[in-house]
Structure 1
Amino acid sequence: MKHSIKTLGISTLILLALACMDKNSKQQVDLAITNAQVIHLETGTVETQDIFISNGKIQAILDVGTENTFEPDTLMDATGKFVLPGFWDNHIHLRGGDSLVANNKNFLKLFITNGITTVRDAGGDLTPSVIQWKNQIASEDLVGPTIYISGPKIDGPNATWAGSLEVETEEDVKNALDSLQELQVDFVKLYDSQISGGNYLNAIKETQIRGMTVSGHMPFTVTLKETVEAGMDAMEHLYYIMKGCASNELEVTEKLKSGKMGFWDAMPALMQAYSDSTAQKTFTMLKDHDVFVVPTLHIGKTLSYLDEVDHSNDPYLTYMGQGIIQTYQGRITRAMSASEEVRKDRKELDTFFGQLAQSLNKAGVKLLAGSDSGAFNSYTYPGISLHKELEAMVQNGIPPLDALRTSAYNGAQFLDRSNNYGSVSKGNVSDLVILDDNPLEDIRNTQHIYMVVKGTQVFSKTQLQELLDSAIMD
């Protein structure tokens, strides 16, 4: 009996030791999302997989049924749900002066409730506030998307937008870029309202010397070829691409230089002179120089039809506040007072841009989904407008997978962040959106959000609704 007791004791100790070893061999993780239909944007495949997350990063992504040693603190069964990277809105504006700081800060909630975990702020006059929000979001002291900033825009004297860095000389250009580097901006934004062609091209070349990323508009006093060859990384909007696709671009450029033609006068002339052979050469040039293009189709349609569409009952007006709504009036007044010919031209241009975006995508030019939402851009609401942009792309013939890529996947590539963002991959930041339905079957399903994961923060459908309700402004 004594011998058997001793044996039992030794056996128990061995079992306990093995149990401890098994427990110690388990890797603790914060969250496991299991049985998810993961949409891999890089390949277009959809795989049923388990995602393991810890410390704000994806620790592993495994096929369902694969043995693993992970021990999650929280387990989420995503059966029937679709997972893809959190959306990126690659063109927004946080701006409007001190009186609209609170309104702009409120926008941050709208991005998260729409599954947008990253935004690219393409210039404004609230830089100190935006930098503060950017840092607070990074430390998770404020709910909002990761913000990549350009700081103030670079333009010429008497610039259209408040807060712009106005340049008249080559030295001014260098000083402006010095100040942006001191602000540690993520990219440079060039605007075209007053800048000379020479200073514009010099600014692009100088950013390349300094290793800075640059995007922007383009003064019509230069050609698209000159802009691309100077080193432009992304073209914001399609006006400038259209110019480079027209057989009369050089003629129009000379008329702009001499003052014989204005920007809007050039639109019908360029659209009518669109040449497929010229366009194909332009598309090849854009691809060869790895230039991204931001179509901003949704805002184009919204502004083109201000004279026909009544937005007074738009649900998102409740989140804007009267200060933002008042900034909409300028564009509304111009649209309503425009001649019939101008209204007709604007609508034809909108249709043309949809076709141009489809042609760019078909040719393999990388597109970026951007809403251009913010103050002054009438009825183009932060958050929901990114989904409307994806929808507009698909309506114009861009396949849903390609449209989805224009958000997080291409956005991460453009800002050289693909090592951390843009795909559901091991080692990437755990910015994810979980959808109730498959967006590859219907792009409108991007709006059917079940859950958002932003780093270490997890927002359930209920919490997202609560966040949206808290964004209502008087």
Structure 2
Amino acid sequence: MTVKLKKRLSGVLCVAAASSLLAACGSSGDSATEVEHGFVISNATIVDTRDGSLQQGRTIVVDGGKIQTITSERVRATGAAQEVDASGKYVVPGYIDMHTHVMEAIDLQPNFFPLMIANGVTAFRDQDLASEERGAQLNADSAAGLVDAPEAIFAGGEAHLNPAESTFDASNRGMPYIDHLGAGMGLLVDCSTQAQDIRTEFLAQGYRPSGINMAHFILNPRAYDGNQNARFYQRVLDTYDENTCEALSQAFVHNGTWQIPSLIRLRTQDWGNDPLYRQDPNLIYVEGSRRANWNEVGDMFSALPADAVTTLQNYYELQKRATLLMQRSGVKVLSGSDIGGIWLIAGFSLQQEFQELAAAGLSPLEVLQTTTLNPAEFLNRQASMGTVEEGKNADLVLLDANPLDSVDNLAKIDGVFLKGRYFSKADLEELKRGVADAYANQ
């Protein structure tokens, strides 16, 4: 759909397509372009996710879910068009959560979508390929305005490492990406000088306890196997070699093996009973039965021996260190929060992932890239997403503060544009309030 822009110059009406507006209509100090449909986002500062440069004083014309034009000239909303004053605001592409289990809760009332939108999530990659057909219908309904939901993306299934296979071998045979740093001990085993011995002994003793509640095990595996396997984690800690981990990183770069660390998922496992999560005020957005399960598994984690917990938490610190090493070595990193695990609240969990990536040492720009620019490259959709440019999807987030100053500012959301609809700050608060109200008496 092409927006028609009207511009009055010295009493003469000029009509031009958005792409040729400036060339066709020229400029005038007292003139203004008129837009009759869609949205006019005025006085915005656009953040270039490629290099972090800022384009100040820009007006973004949005219609049909697309960015029709970006200009520094005056634009006036007329007719059915709505103006959004973005003075003092920063515009970035919508956030993409690249590892979720959202579709498993699609029938939940309310489902995860309101909280995701309220936290700037405009797309999510779901691990359940069996839900792909239903995801396609969701996307169609969303595009038609029948439901408000981020775009569902299906690209590959679970990619945990096989504990019996070295990470070098997995990458060399073409494994396209690795989730959770491999899960369990994961890829850090292959940063050890005793990798083969640790792997052999680990497999010999059986790495999954018997007689488990599988639903609880999925919520937090460490609550079940943390004590049994702590000695293996400790051996990796004791024999970690930076040069070996650098060699592994270079293999990832050479083979194009992406990383979706999901650090917040790892942390909520290794701090499975942390008051930070137990007392999270955002638990008001979680239904009663899910909260009860989380508390029960949290109680199980609290029963682990103190030395095992210390080992697990030290292991997480090494995982953060390895994440930074890989990123600095040129390994491509994606943000994924693994919605579905213990203490992971939809939407908020991605904001927590941003915090963990920053704690690992990534810069605010690098964190922003993991949820915008990098997903576009991974999905081969650079033509439609990843940057704020003409012709691309107008799935956008308006921020109250510069996201390049601090990752905290990625949560300071003033508005969200999603599939042709604008959610103001008040709208976003209403989305969250509706979820809280639904679960208030559970």
Calculate the TM-score normalised by the size of structure 2.
0.80
- Residue 382 (structure 1) shift: 0.8
Closer, same or farther: CA 253–303 of 1 in aligned 2, 3 Å: closer
Aligned partners of 2:292, 2:320: CA distance in 1, in Å? Answer: 29
Aligned partners of 1:18, 1:38: CA distance in 2, in Å? Answer: 28
Partner of 2:13: 22
Contact 2:115 2:347 in 1 (8 A): yes
Partner of 1:187: 155
Aligned partners of 1:424, 1:287: CA distance in 2, in Å? Answer: 27
**One of 47, 50, 53 as aligned partner of 1:45:** 53
**One of 285, 291, 307 as aligned partner of 2:257:** 291
2:275 is paired with a residue of what secondary structure?
coil
Aligned partners of 2:95, 2:149: CA distance in 1, in Å? Answer: 13
Aligned partners of 1:127, 1:315: CA distance in 2, in Å? Answer: 33
**One of 161, 186, 198 as aligned partner of 1:240:** 186
Partner of 1:320: 286
Partner of 2:82: 74
Closer, same or farther: CA 359–298 of 1 in aligned 2, 3 Å: same
Letter paired with 2:96 = W
2:128 is paired with a residue of what secondary structure?
coil
Letter paired with 1:58 = I
CA distances 1:244-292 after superposition (whole Å, capped 9, x unpaired): 3222222233334544777835322223222111111111111111211
Aligned partners of 1:252, 1:322: CA distance in 2, in Å? Answer: 41
Aligned partners of 2:390, 2:122: CA distance in 1, in Å? Answer: 18
**One of 156, 161, 166 as aligned partner of 1:223:** 166
Contact 1:101 1:129 in 2 (8 A): no
Runs (4+) of structure 1 moved beyond 6 Å? 17-21, 67-72, 124-128, 260-263
Partner of 1:61: 70
Letter paired with 2:82 = T
- Residue 95 (structure 1) shift: 6.1
2:376 is paired with a residue of what secondary structure?
helix
- Residue 26 (structure 1) shift: 6.4
Letter paired with 1:59 = Q
Q: In the alignment, is residue 114 of structure 1 matched against residue 89 of structure 2?
A: no
**One of 135, 143, 147 as aligned partner of 2:148:** 143
Aligned partners of 1:25, 1:378: CA distance in 2, in Å? Answer: 54
Instruction: Give the aligned CA root-mean-square deviation in angstroms.
Output: 2.7
Aligned partners of 2:276, 2:404: CA distance in 1, in Å? Answer: 31
Letter paired with 1:41 = T
Closer, same or farther: CA 347–411 of 1 in aligned 2, 3 Å: same
Partner of 2:91: 83
2:149 is paired with a residue of what secondary structure?
coil
Contact 2:335 2:350 in 1 (8 A): yes
Q: How do 1:295-444 and structure 2 match up within 5 A?
A: 295-309=261-275, 311-329=277-295, 331-374=297-340, 377-444=341-408
Aligned partners of 1:405, 1:104: CA distance in 2, in Å? Answer: 32
CA distances 1:95-138 after superposition (whole Å, capped 9, x unpaired): 66xxx554375211100001110111123886675554344224
1:188 is paired with a residue of what secondary structure?
coil
Partner of 1:447: 411
Aligned partners of 1:76, 1:69: CA distance in 2, in Å? Answer: 11
1:368 is paired with a residue of what secondary structure?
coil
Closer, same or farther: CA 253–26 of 1 in aligned 2, 3 Å: closer
Aligned partners of 2:83, 2:415: CA distance in 1, in Å? Answer: 14
Aligned partners of 1:95, 1:25: CA distance in 2, in Å? Answer: 43
1:141 is paired with a residue of what secondary structure?
coil
Calculate the TM-score normalised by the size of structure 1.
0.75
Larger Cα-atom Rg: 1
Contact 1:37 1:82 in 2 (8 A): yes
Letter paired with 1:423 = T
Closer, same or farther: CA 59–101 of 1 in aligned 2, 3 Å: closer
- Residue 75 (structure 1) shift: 2.3
Partner of 2:24: none
- Residue 301 (structure 1) shift: 2.3
Contact 1:95 1:124 in 2 (8 A): no
Q: How do 1:149-160 and structure 2 match up within 5 A?
A: none
- Residue 312 (structure 1) shift: 4.3
Bigger shift: residues 313-322 or 36-45:
313-322
Letter paired with 1:117 = T
2:338 is paired with a residue of what secondary structure?
coil
Contact 1:103 1:320 in 2 (8 A): no
Aligned partners of 1:277, 1:57: CA distance in 2, in Å? Answer: 46
- Residue 330 (structure 1) shift: 5.3
Aligned partners of 1:130, 1:32: CA distance in 2, in Å? Answer: 31
Partner of 1:36: 44
Q: In the alignment, is residue 273 of structure 1 matched against residue 281 of structure 2?
A: no
Partner of 1:167: none
Letter paired with 1:54 = D
Aligned partners of 2:85, 2:97: CA distance in 1, in Å? Answer: 28
Partner of 2:222: none
Letter paired with 2:156 = V
Letter paired with 1:253 = R
- Residue 466 (structure 1) shift: 1.1
Closer, same or farther: CA 346–60 of 1 in aligned 2, 3 Å: same
1:354 is paired with a residue of what secondary structure?
helix
Aligned partners of 1:127, 1:329: CA distance in 2, in Å? Answer: 31
Contact 2:49 2:387 in 1 (8 A): yes
Contact 1:26 1:71 in 2 (8 A): no
**One of 180, 185, 196 as aligned partner of 1:250:** 196
Contact 1:41 1:423 in 2 (8 A): yes
Letter paired with 1:389 = E
